[in-house]
Amino acid sequence: MNKITTFKPQNQVLNEIIDFFIYFDIKASSGQEYNFKTFPNLNKCLAIYLNGQPSWNEDTNICEILRCSKPNSALFHNHKRPFNVKSTVSFKQFCIIFKEDGLNAVSQVPIEQIHWQEAVEQIFQNDFNDYEAYFDDSKLEVNLPKIEFFLMKKLINSNRDGLFRTFLSNLNQFPTLSISQHAQNLRMDESTLYRKLKMATQKSPKQIQKEFIFRKTLNKIQNNSYNKLIDLCDIEYYDQSHFIKNFQQFTGLTPKQIQRNISSTGPLFFMTA
């Protein structure tokens, strides 16, 4: 039976930079393909595989998990459309879901220099060994404190980017305000805001704004906190057509299609076939 389990960090300092840990234990059935999709988000996923190897086509954004006898790792982020995962083999995967700019707190390597298939080696400089020890689900309660202890040792700076946090707070209050108006409210010019946010998150202010609004909409769908489609637009979108266009850009689906089989694991929304 497939198992997907999530854990919040117990260490309060790590809570500032990590949304949660997620553990996949996928059992392949003969002739059947396991697959799921997730959608663009502002966080970053550091994935560690025990007996699987990710093969990611960045053009189609499809990631196939292949059979492999040794541990592998990958860093996934900055998706502009649905991220599709499929596999016909059994695999175990442990993910660290970093908050928007949380990875910067444990890595001295700029994110743009990290190769997605060499993530653990580059981020932790080959210190994160003994992968297998963390994949025994009967010992997860024992292993998680060890992982948190390791991350605390690697901590460079637990303070998240102040500008970025302020920008998110302003987006929450004024989601449809133009980027130039947000820059004015932050007392800087638009190019400075772009440069600083790009450096902290690898995303432009406009991209952050679109994804932020999209995730708020997903929350409403998950919580059924609307009566009809127009209620999903309210103050986050200029009009219904604008809402539909953005939503389909991120998911390839309509809100009703999403609502039928969406699951939520903390801030990670995913759809299983």
Going residue by residue through the chain, which has 273 residues, state the pLDDT in tens, using 9 for 90 and above. 788 888 889 888 888 889 889 888 888 877 688 888 888 777 889 998 888 899 998 888 899 999 988 888 899 887 778 888 999 998 888 899 998 778 888 888 877 788 888 888 888 876 666 666 666 666 777 788 888 888 888 887 655 567 877 888 888 888 878 999 999 988 999 999 999 888 777 788 988 888 888 877 777 776 665 656 566 666 566 567 777 777 777 777 777 777 666 654 444 455 444
User: Looking at the chain, how many residues does it have?
Assistant: 273
What gap in Å lies between CA 22 and CA 109, rounded to an integer? 24
What gap in Å lies between CA 261 and CA 270, rounded to an integer? 9
Output the six-digit token pair for 20: 């949660």
Q: Is the dihedral of CA 63, 64, 65, 67 positive or negative?
A: negative
At 224 the pLDDT is 65
Where in the chain does DSSP place strands (E)?
3-7, 18-26, 34-38, 44-49, 52-57, 62-67, 72-76, 83-87, 91-98, 262-265, 268-272
Q: Are 79 and 250 in contact (CB under 8 A)?
A: no
What gap in Å lies between CA 261 and CA 245, rounded to an integer? 21
Q: What residue segments make up the domains of the chain, in order of their start?
A: 3-154, 162-251
Query: If one looks up domain 162-251 in CATH, what number appears?
Result: 1.10.10.60
**CATH 1.10.730 matches 3-154:** no
Spatial CB neighbours of 174, under 8 Å, sequence gap ≥ 6: 181, 182
